[in-house]
Amino acid sequence: MTAWHEKTAAQIRDAVAAGAVSAAEVTRSYLDRIEAVDGRIGAYTQVWRDEALAQAEGLDQRIQAGEAVGPLAGVPISLKELICTTRGFTTCSSRILQGFQSPYNATVTEKLIAADAILLGKVNMDEFAMGSSTENSAVQKTANPWNLKCVPGGSSGGSAASIASATSAISFGSDTGGSIRQPAAFCGCVGLKPTYGRVSRYGLVAFASSLDQIGPLSRDVTDAALAMNVICGKDPMDATSADLPVEDFTRALTGDVKGLRIGLPKEYFIDALGSEVRALVEASAEVLREQGAEIVEVSLPHTDYAVAVYYIVAPAEASANLARFDGVRYGFRHSDAGNVTEMYVKTKSEGFGPEVQRRIMLGTYVLSSGYYDAYYLKAQKVRTLIKQDFDRAFAECDLILTPTAPTPAFEMGAKSDPLEMYLNDIFTISTNLAGIPAISIPCGLSATGLPVGLQLIGKAFDEATVLRAAHCYEQHAGLQMGAPALG
């Protein structure tokens, strides 16, 4: 019997569309897999068994009737808790949105349904996408399928864990400072953060509006390209979405990188980078060089400031974005308050976890009059410098190659100091500040058997080249990572 949960999205889609397997059978295979292993992983916060099977059966009937089907026909997917769905709940893994049912679907959700993807359920995350380990979820703990004592990364840790444990074929997460790529690296899967504006944010519960972007996590690069074909494009409901045609990204997967110049930024190969990670990343650059890419050294001189800038801009926007969670109209409300101010204070104090409260306070502080110029305005100016760094670098190369994270996955509870946790995104944050696309793909295992990720950064709206190089590496790296032993 074919274990459909081990197949890629492309394989599933082709088999379903050809009638070789029913979408219902594939869906059942994934639902059974969730039942078998997710108790140990904790990726899913909600599984829509009946709805997913009904959706799959509807699709099968249409296939039998000879109707055309969508580009993700029968592909079982999962969605991060902050993507709005009328099905089930949209909680952002926060107590404050406990029981919240969105009255509308995110644009991405609509597109995935229209593409005939099967929505299995929602997956865990750091509360409101704030964190790098998914330990900040108010719902549950998620384990790294490669080592259950370790974190899956964050904030899209549930998404990455669902891919690594083969409980979804593609998962959709969001990336504000590395929240797709870092967990993808920790869990040994592919994670793509598209260019800011490539994918509609309508229906993505906002953390930091100028940085957030939805993107796919998948088993391989081809599946990431397939997913991008579906979710990209201008959305009249999102004023910041780019009005560009959606190309067929699978056509970019030519298998070679001949003629590409790939830059290694010297500022990323620093002492904080573990020697194991450094060795694997450098070896991957060598693979690409062998395939015809030219490797050059580039400089991104303002890299050092990225984390500081991020922790001013992102909390500032978050402090406004999260203001609406006040208990007035939906979600959690403290039941015993004498007046409206007390109700706000008690609701927010009990509804938000410590990391979210920390960032709201930080954001409120940096925006307050008297501090605005010194923090927020200054940060925006440095953000411009960071963007200009990339512009200059991309005058010399087509792609930039870096590690995704300084180390492989760490153990749960290992990073109790928030600042230490923030530094985990040191290699991913800059691209969010610059709004440019980046992918993380596996480049090997550490001595302790944990995956290590390689990051490829591209020019704005040049996801095609990013995918092409990532795919070429995947084809030629000869990695024998296997899969986590979950039975």
Partner 1 sequence: MEYEAVIGMEVHVQLNCKSKLFCGCSTDFHAPANTNVCPVCLGMPGAMPVLNREMVNKSVAVGLALNCAISRWSKMDRKNYFYPDQSKNYQISQYDLPLNHGGHLDIHVNGETKRIGITRAHMEEDTARNTHTIGGGQSGVDFNRCGVPLLEIVTEPDIHSADEAYAYLTELKQILQYLDVSDCSMEEGKLRAEANISVRPKGSTAFGTKTEVKNVASFSGTYKAIQYEIARQIQILNDGGTIVQETRGWDDDRGVTFSQRAKESAHDYRYFPEPDLVPIVVDEAWEESIRAALPELPAARRARLTGAFGLSDYDAGVLTATRAMADFYEAAAAKTDPKKAANWIMGDLQALVTEDRAEIGSIPVTPEYLAAMINLIEDGTISGKIAKEVLAEMYRTGKSPAAVVEEKGLVQISDHGAIDAAVAEVIAANPAQVAEFKAGKEKVIGFLVGQIMKATQGKANPKMVNDILRAKLSE
In the chain, the amino acid numbered 33 is R
Secondary structure in 3-state letters for 219-245: CCHHHHHHHHHHHECCCCCCCCCCCCC
Strands 261-265 and 399-403: parallel
Q: Cis before residue 165, ω within 30 degrees of 0?
A: no
The nearest distance, CB 211 to partner 1, in angstroms, is 9
Distances (CA, A) of 169 to 25, 117, 119: 14, 10, 11
Q: Annotated catalytic residue: which of 94, 137, 179, 284? A: 179
The nearest distance, CB 106 to partner 1, in angstroms, is 6
Listing from the earlier edge strand, what are the strands of the sheet with 170-174?
44-47, 118-123, 76-80, 170-174, 214-218, 190-193, 438-445, 451-458, 399-403, 261-265, 294-298
Binding flag, residue 210, partner 1 (CB under 8 A): yes
The nearest distance, CB 376 to partner 1, in angstroms, is 6
Return the SS3 of 405: coil
The nearest distance, CB 246 to partner 1, in angstroms, is 20
Nearer to partner 1, 334 or 476 (CB): 334
C-alpha span between 16 and 14 (Å, rounded): 6
C-alpha span between 274 and 399 (Å, rounded): 23
**Count of positions on this chain that bind partner 1 (CB under 8 A):** 45
Binding flag, residue 324, partner 1 (CB under 8 A): yes
Binding flag, residue 317, partner 1 (CB under 8 A): yes
Whether the CB-CB separation of 260 and 469 falls below 8 Å is answered with yes
C-alpha span between 62 and 147 (Å, rounded): 41
Whether the CB-CB separation of 310 and 432 falls below 8 Å is answered with yes
Distances (CA, A) of 90 to 45, 96, 219, 357: 10, 11, 25, 20
Contacting residue, 93, 168, 284, 319, with partner 1 by CB under 8 A: 319
The nearest distance, CB 302 to partner 1, in angstroms, is 21
Contacting residue, 204, 300, 434, 460, with partner 1 by CB under 8 A: 204
Binding flag, residue 240, partner 1 (CB under 8 A): yes
Contacting residue, 39, 103, 245, 338, with partner 1 by CB under 8 A: 103
C-alpha span between 367 and 349 (Å, rounded): 21
C-alpha span between 383 and 439 (Å, rounded): 21
Interhelix angle 23-41/9-18, nearest 10 degrees: 150
Binding flag, residue 434, partner 1 (CB under 8 A): no
Q: Annotated catalytic residue: which of 7, 80, 193, 459? A: 80
Contacting residue, 283, 296, 328, 361, with partner 1 by CB under 8 A: 328
Q: Annotated catalytic residue: which of 29, 94, 155, 159? A: 155
Return the SS3 of 314: helix
Binding flag, residue 3, partner 1 (CB under 8 A): no
Contacting residue, 27, 46, 90, 195, with partner 1 by CB under 8 A: 90
Binding flag, residue 84, partner 1 (CB under 8 A): yes
Give the interface segment with partner 1, choosing from 30-38, 53-61, 319-327, 431-439 (CB under 8 A): 319-327
Binding flag, residue 398, partner 1 (CB under 8 A): no
Contacting residue, 248, 368, 420, 449, with partner 1 by CB under 8 A: 368
Nearer to partner 1, 139 or 405 (CB): 139
Binding flag, residue 238, partner 1 (CB under 8 A): yes
Contacting residue, 63, 97, 189, 445, with partner 1 by CB under 8 A: 97
Nearer to partner 1, 82 or 262 (CB): 82
Which residues neighbour 361 within 8 Å (Cβ) at sequence distance 6 or greater?
A: 319
Quick note: the x/- pattern for partner 1 over 184-203, rule CB under 8 A, is -----------------xxx
Contacting residue, 236, 292, 354, 449, with partner 1 by CB under 8 A: 236
Give the interface segment with partner 1, choosing from 150-158, 224-232, 325-333, 466-474 (CB under 8 A): 325-333
Site for partner 1 in 247-276 (CB under 8 A): none
Which residues neighbour 244 within 8 Å (Cβ) at sequence distance 6 or greater?
A: 198, 233, 234, 461
Give the interface segment with partner 1, choosing from 138-146, 315-323, 382-390, 458-466 (CB under 8 A): 315-323
Interhelix angle 221-231/107-114, nearest 10 degrees: 110
Active site residue 80: yes
Measured from the Cβ of residue 346, the count of other Cβ atoms closer than 10 Å reads: 17
Site for partner 1 in 329-348 (CB under 8 A): 329-330, 340-341, 344
Which residues neighbour 296 within 8 Å (Cβ) at sequence distance 6 or greater?
A: 261, 262, 263, 264, 396, 397
The nearest distance, CB 202 to partner 1, in angstroms, is 5
Which amino acids are annotated catalytic? 80, 155, 179
Interacting residue ranges for partner 1, rule: CB under 8 A: 82-84, 90, 92, 97, 100, 102-104, 106, 201-206, 208-210, 236-240, 316-317, 319-320, 323-326, 328-330, 340-341, 344, 364, 367-369, 372, 376
